Structure 1
Amino acid sequence: MPNTFSRQFILGVLFTCLIGSVAIAEDTLDRTHLPIQEPPRPKFNELDVRNVKETPPFFEVKAPAKAPNVVIVLIDDIGFGGPSAFGGPIQTPTLDQLAKAGLVYNNFHTTALCSPTRMALKCGRNHHTANTGSIMESSTGFPGNTGQVPNSVAPLAEMLRLNGYCTGAFGKWHETAAWETSVSGPFDRWPTRQGFDKFYGFIGGETDQWYPLIYDNLTRVTPPEREGYHFTVDMTDKAIGWMKAQQSITPDKPFFMYYATGAVHAPHHVPREWADKYKGKFDKGWDKVREETIARQKSMNVIPADTALAPKPEDIKDWDQLSDDEHRLFARQAEVFAGFLEQTDHEVGRLVEAIDDIGEMDNTLFIYIAGDNGTSAEGGFVGMYNEMTYFNNVTEKVEDLLPLIDEWGGPETFPHMAAGWAVAFDTPFSWTKQVASDFGGTRNGMVIHWPNGIQQDLGLRSQFGHVIDIAPTVLEAAGLPEPKSVNGTPQIPIEGTSLLYTFNDPRAKERHTTQYFEMFGNRAIYHDGWFARTLHRAPWEAVDMPPLETDVWDLYHVKSDFSLTRNLAKENPEKLAELQALFMSEAKKYNALPIDDRVIARMNPAIAGRPEILGDRTSLTLYDGMDGMLENTFMNVKNRSKKITAELKIPEGGAEGVILTQGGKFGGWCLYMKSGKPVYTYNYLGLERFTVAADAEVPAGDAVVVLDFAYDGKTTDEIGKGGDVTISVNGKEVAQGRVEKTQPLIFSADETADVGLDNQTPVAEDLGVGRVKTRFTGKIKKVTLDVKDPG
């Protein structure tokens, strides 16, 4: 019996003897109500402490004896057919190594989108139960889609923390309601209020890997300034440092680490040496890559030998129909993406090595999930130099992207690859991320490694699994019950099924037998080996959707049709009708109804029906030091007129630097001083810049600089229009000009609004990069931002 357990047992017995009926031995703790209640404090009659025998105090809750460490690695936006461990063309040696000594799951599913998958993974309930029907930025006012996880859905991290685990999260979060990301909070749905003792990463859906927006717990921090900085390396350093320190101080206390990379979500940022490892390897094109991948998958036995290669979507051209320029551009896009994934797997390998170095790998339940959904096709048919063009309904052209080939993946781009590669990296399936009604969107490779808990029959596991199964799996492995209440709130029962039954029995009968899927109108139901689905929209379709009532459903028997290629709807209409009715029943049960197929439109809070922190305010007063304001917590200036009034004190010799800015290198606007003169720059998606500058310096002393932007649109339906710009100093007009077009829907997922500096990449590149170079050298008393709607 371990020494730690022995000490706890003896202390428990002594305490029980001294205070009567109250027992705190580990085997008597009630872990179904968290936090675990402290025993009553004893009362004494003696005056002198020397006449009383001390009773052992109840200092802390210990995890169950032999409870393992737990690490969940979640890679972003890579599909089933990408990693080499599942037959893909991209080398993932760490995943390969863990697979050889662990379990390989080829029938594991996600929700087809990032926020919903992450929420379901960490709470064990369906994504609509957790109010996460889509990403945070497209939440609505309907139950199941509000973006606010309820207190009745406690996360796994909180369950483990209250049971004696140290808990840390590193990397991508994307589970906090968009309007709750300001300095005013509330912080209830930030990582450190969702069960994690430590968080180091980014709050939103993506970040620039070279210039990330990072939070350390609740505090925004500046990334280390070192040559060649990359966020995936940085977050791994922090994860290893936290884990080693925790184990050094409390070696008998298990840890739970959630390691969720921003990779390989766009922007596809990776050092050139990683991308160049794949030089020429994708010149053959996506059709040949698909053929070679499915052949490897069969030879590796990660898919059945009779699996057919599902057809590409009709909108994806055959490789041999493309031009030489398209071949050259698209091949480089795939090289960068592949290098990004291999670099990421290498960083996971550093984490594995660090755990092994301290002797904890055998006692660590290590869950490596290769994708929170299928590979992303959001790059459209030619890819994107700047992913934000997708969110503004702007289509980029091959001729515009070709000159950027040598810079692809570096700091000068914010790129996404063409959709043909997403289909290839989701082999053997047809579809991709966002398509919850196809396994290309939902089936992701997973490897589980745990030498102390998995000791026989290593290899393939083909039982149906889903991300909601991870939390109950961890609880069972740790010897913990599902809690009935957490922090005083009765809990909605966990809806997943523990996968522990598969660990030492590859032939165990499947236990997760029914699962619904829904994302932006794409919907399906799995039940006892059957799969019914409807393909409502492609990932590159965002407007003019067909009526939901007109959708046609397909039927597949997935036990004999791994890749969904034999539609049995006409042969078995009764089974199809049965499953359609089951979908409606499950959708109602888990708050997936009503279905909302709006995509880009839901980015607008007024359309979506979710809160805005500023509500209907049209004026905002800002002060120096207010920087790092995410777009959803700042005044919406898009598609409307704005006036910026800056009250300044100009030093002798003139002022330099930013007064007020929003966005960055790939889209935004900035009012600043250059050589003592006020300047306004509007950066349209990094594709065009419009600049209006004064000719004369602002004299030293108190000054009021005013920027007026008069929007061209006459109605609220006229979006993305340009406008006239006027700059005034102390009541006198000093410059006029034009902005010919504006971004209608979003500036950035991670760049911020800042007073007195430009926090990450610069809107106005003539100031330089970084907080120091863009810092305003005078004094900002206050800045007032006023907006006015058209009409």
Structure 2
Amino acid sequence: MSAVDVGKSAEHAAFGGVIGETYRDSTPWWPPEEIAAGRPNVLMVVLDDLGFASLGCYGSEIATPNLDALAAGGVQFTNFHATALCSPTRASLLTGRNSHAVGMAYLSHVDDGFPGYRGAIGHDSATLAEVLVDAGYNTWAVGKWHLAPMDQTTVAGPFDQWPLGRGFEHYYGFLEALSDHFHPELFRDNQSVEPPATPEQGYHLTTDLVDNTVQYLRDQTSVAPQTPFFSYLALGATHTPFHAPREFVERYRGRYDDGWDVIRERRYRRQIELGVIPPRTDLPPRNDDVTAWDSLSADERAASARFQEVYAGFLEHTDHEIGRLLAELEVLGRRKDTIVVVVADNGASQEGGPHGVLNTTHYENGHFPEAAEVVARMDEIDGVSTDVNYPLGWAQAANTPLKRYKQNTHAGGIRTAMIVDVPDRLGLALKPGSKRHQFQHVTDIVPTILDLAGVTAPVERAGLRLRPIQGQSMRPVLADSALPSPARTQYFETDGNRAVWKDGWKAVAFHRRGTDFAADKWELYHLDDDVSEAHDLAGSEPERLAELVAAWWEEARANDVLPLDDRGFAERANVKFRPHSPRDRTRWDYYNGMQHIGTGSAPPLPGRSFIISAVIDRPVGTEDGVLIAHGSRNSGYAFLVKDGHLVYDLNHYNRHTLVRSTSTLPTGTCRVAVRFDHDDAGTGGLAVLMIDDEPVGQMRLAETFEYFIAFQGLDVGGDRLSPVHQGDEGEFPFAGRLEVVTIELLGDDLRPVRAVRGVT
């Protein structure tokens, strides 16, 4: 064997040229590559918690001219269905497979220990980004991810479920379920980063996300214009918290004084005029948890109207930024070669409760403010100073003419807006502004894009045999509006709410958390004649209903829907940890200088007793600052030194309770701690401050967080992003020496937190 043959790699062995003694008697060769040039670009925009009737082209009075123009130039779908929750929809949207089948039945915060409930997409289900990057596309994701296990969203990873681990070459955005739009937790690729500007400098997350999408577009177009791209933009809007520039909110002052009943009726009439719903559609009565507008007091009506003013401003600002992105595609000359898909992940949110909330954590902790509190804080419903979500009446109006909301499998939870624009050169001869009324499902988007791009779905990837794609290409429906809905059976399940669609009929069961699944009442609707699910035919069509219920069980078994689980987010996220989770322990040592960590990776303190301690050094004796903080301006806790005193600041829904040491801290080195002993009954307990293990102050706290602290995470050595602590010092970094902060769970409070009380 000659020396040149020894140790040849597989790539060397496959060399197709000739290697001689010199280049003169050699023939070069290059391995063939996937030729992507000529394939269409793909821009996918995901809107969050957007009700079916929220866009102007779907009947709303809110100004959404850019999305309306996209619908007028493309195709608007009126019978499109997602899942009833964000993570599952995104899993289906990016894989073309049912959410339970890929392991994302619920939120990515939770791993229940069953195949359908892993809180992560199995690698045997390739994402659209993975398929397209293998086909020669450039890929990037911007915005909300919410598909990585949340206890894995630290700089320690693992990163295989982050965007860069699922086929995207670049990422910029937030990994959580929601984000503060003025103080977001941001990541670039696999690294935590600070926001590029402050709210005082005009920062807003939606603008930042669009700016970064434009930057990726400009970079890619400058250096590889022949290469197609897949740009995934998942906005935080219009999920709570509703944050909007003041000028956009001001445009809607007084516009909602007529109330949700009148607005719902107007949208319903407008939908019929636009052809979004058939003229024969009936408007169902108010949902059973919605109060008649006229029964509210004058002050309650004034406060409630403000929530919708903020929401409308939030949505119009979002439309403005999407318009800026679409205009950039035109400037770069790539609009005519780009498939554009705009989709909402589920219906409007019920998480604002009967009166609305000024804090996103109210819902997670199982209670809502009384109307009097909302009225008293009316001036804070401004889109800037608080984290608001609107009352149920506005959520119902957002879903006009549909029943119920996000999390429910009635149409209000799963029937969503979807707009598609396809380049003329793909030969579909679309009539601009046309509508499609055939049933479609979120799993259909991936096979449609692959079909239009001429990319074959792989059967294997990275050594794994892939699950078959379950959706159907929409190309035939796009090409012919007269085609009937394709024959299929499609199940739905979220939080125990169940439904199944088959050949124009739908069976649906509403489930109240904590009740017997067997007691759920199944309803039956003929959607071809009853878009709004106004007429329950279960009593007159018992055989058809039985057939559909049997079909649901068959689909449930085939897609890993079982076992049914109706436990709430806070209970599931704080009780059951996947093996080796950073939350599944009783002690955490956090070193000063570590990067911000998300709340899904932070210690599970609600409902438990704990001690937070640190050794600090104040050489001069005047050094103050925050030692540790978890949360945001609207909820959380901070342990700090202020004016020489030790302070524990409990920010309970923007109401601060300060436990302050009776004596000042000594100069030099000392050990400081706060111990909290949780009451066996109730949600309060005793907080004790200690210096060198001696009590120096205590207070009985009447209330603490029952199940959930905040959606914003934890910092050591300062209070970064949105400050938790009371005062105007901002980050307030500790000015002395601090090495490590230790958190320990104590005693018998290692038991699971109590079950969430009746949260639906």
Structure 2 length as normaliser, TM-score? Answer: 0.93
**In 1, Cα distance between equivalents of 2:696 and 2:61:** 59
Report which stretch shifted further, 352-361 or 779-788. Answer: 779-788
User: Partner of 1:763 in structure 2?
Assistant: 724
Question: Which residue, out of 179, 197, 203, partners 2:151?
Answer: 179
1:42 CA displacement: 3.3
- The equivalent residue for 2:707 is 745
Does residue 97 (structure 1) correspond to residue 69 (structure 2)? The answer is yes
Change (3 A) 1:441 1:731: closer
CA distance in structure 1 between the aligned counterparts of 2:261 and 2:571, rounded to whole angstroms: 34
Please say if residues 163 and 171 of structure 2, whose CA atoms lie closer than 8 Å, have aligned partners that are also in contact. yes
1:63-99 Cα distance to aligned partner (Å, 9 max, x none): 1x52111011111011111111111222211111011
Alignment match, 2:209: 235
- 1:710 maps to a residue whose letter is D
Q: Report the equivalent of 1:574.
A: 543
Q: Please list the CA deviations of residues 345-377 of structure 1 after superposition, one character each: whole Å capped at 9, or x if unmatched.
A: 1110000000011111111000111x2111101
Pairing 1:192–2:164 present: yes
Give matches, 1:243-262, under 5 Å.
243-262=217-236
2:80 aligned with 1:108:
yes
Contact preservation (8 Å) 1:662, 1:668 = yes
Where do residues 556-567 of structure 1 align in structure 2 (5 Å cutoff)?
A: 556-567=525-536
Paired residue secondary structure (2:664)? coil
| Structure 1 residue 57 displacement after superposition | 4.6
Residues 136-171 of structure 1, C-alpha deviations (whole Å, 9 max, x = no match): 224411221111211101111110011111111111
Q: Does 2:96 correspond to 1:127? A: no
Matched with 2:5 is none
SS at match of 2:141: strand
1:511 alignment partner, one of 473, 486, 510: 486
Aligned partner (choices 501, 507, 511) of residue 476 of structure 2: 501
More displaced 10-residue stretch of structure 1: 449-458 or 237-246 = 449-458
Could you tell me whether the CA contact under 8 Å between 2:82 and 2:416 is conserved in 1?
A: yes
| 1:307 CA displacement | 0.8
CA deviation vs aligned residue, 1:327-350 (integer Å, no higher than 9, x gap): 101111001001111110111000
Distance in 2, Cα, partners of 1:673 & 1:559 = 65
1:425 and 1:113 map into 2 onto residues whose CA distance is 16
Which of 720, 740, 746 does residue 788 from structure 1 map onto? 746
Distance 1:512 1:442 in 2: 19
Aligned counterparts of 2:487 and 2:178: Cα–Cα separation in 1: 32
Contact residue 388 and residue 748 of structure 1 kept, 8 A = yes
RMSD: 1.9
Q: Deviations over 1:191-241 (max 9, x none)?
A: 111111111110010011110101111111111224121100111101111
Provide the secondary structure at the position in 2 that maps to 1:367: strand
Q: Using a 3 Å threshold, how does the CA distance of structure 1 residues 662 and 178 change in structure 2: closer, same or farther?
A: same
Deviations 1:453-511 (A, max 9, x none): 34333301111111111111110111011110111111000000011112221112322
SS of the aligned residue for 2:288 comes to coil
Q: Within 5 A, what are the aligned runs for 1:233-632?
A: 233-369=207-343, 371-436=344-409, 438-452=410-424, 453=426, 454-458=428-432, 459-511=434-486, 513-537=488-512, 543=513, 545-600=514-569, 602-606=571-575, 608=576, 610-611=578-579, 613-614=581-582, 616-632=584-600
- Decide which of 171, 192, 195 is 1:220's aligned counterpart: 192
Task: Extract unaligned runs of 5+ from structure 1.
Answer: 1-36, 538-542
**More displaced stretch, 736-745 vs 377-386:** 736-745
Cα deviation, residue 406, structure 1 = 2.6
> Hey, what's the Cα distance between the residues in 2 that align with 1:82 and 1:599?
27
Contact 2:645 2:660 in 1 (8 A): no
The equivalent of 2:4 in structure 1 is none
Offset of residue 782 of structure 1? 2.1
- The aligned counterpart of 1:211 is 183
SS at match of 1:309: coil
Alignment partner for residue 673 of structure 2, among 700, 706, 729? 706
Kindly state the Cα deviation for residue 790 of structure 1 after the two structures are TM-superposed. Answer: 4.0
Q: After TM superposition, list the pairs within 5 Å mapping 1:680-759 onto structure 2.
A: 680-699=648-667, 701-713=668-680, 718=681, 720-728=683-691, 730-749=692-711, 751-759=712-720
Which residue of structure 2 aligns with residue 16 of structure 1?
A: none
- Distance in 1 of aligned mates of 2:219 and 2:676: 53
What are the superposed Cα offsets for residues 276-309 of structure 1, whole Å, 9 maximum, x if unpaired? 1111211111111111111111111111111111
The 2-side partners of 1:336 and 1:599 are apart by: 28
Q: Per-residue deviation at 1:512?
A: 5.4
Aligned to 1:17: none
Identity %: 36
The residue that corresponds to 2:607 in the other structure is 639
CA distance in 2, matches of 1:410, 1:455: 43
Of 308-317 and 517-526, deviating more is 308-317
Q: Which range is displaced more, 86-95 or 616-625?
A: 616-625
Q: Conserved in 2, the CA contact under 8 Å of 1:141 and 1:609? A: no
- The question of whether the paired residues in 2 share the 8 Å contact of 1:497 and 1:512 is answered with no
Counterpart amino acid of residue 384 in structure 1: V
Hey, what's the Cα distance between the residues in 1 that align with 2:386 and 2:320?
23
Question: CA 1:175–1:292 in 2, change beyond 3 Å: closer, same or farther?
Answer: same
Taking the TM superposition and a 5 Å limit, the aligned residue runs for 1:668-679 are 668-679=636-647
Structure 1 SS opposite 2:722:
coil
Conserved 8 A contact 2:678-2:684: yes
Quote the offset at 1:246 in angstroms: 0.5
* Counterparts of 1:602 and 1:146, CA distance in 2: 16
Matched residue of 1:421: which SS? helix
Instruction: Name which of 111, 118, 140 aligns with 2:90.
Output: 118
Q: 1:389 to 1:156 in 2, by over 3 A?
A: same
* Contact 2:676–2:685 (Cα < 8 Å) also in 1: no
Partner of 1:346: helix, strand, or coil? helix
TM-score normalised by length of structure 1: 0.90
Change (3 A) 1:38 1:399: farther
Superposed displacement of residue 262, structure 1: 0.4
Does residue 147 (structure 1) correspond to residue 119 (structure 2)? The answer is yes
Q: Could you tell me whether the CA contact under 8 Å between 2:347 and 2:415 is conserved in 1? A: yes
Q: Would the alpha carbon gap of residues 202 and 671 (structure 1) be closer, same or farther in structure 2, given more than 3 Å must change?
A: same
The residue matched to 2:582 in structure 1 has which SS? Answer: coil
Matches of 2:636 and 2:570 in 1, distance apart? 20
The residue that corresponds to 1:14 in the other structure is: none
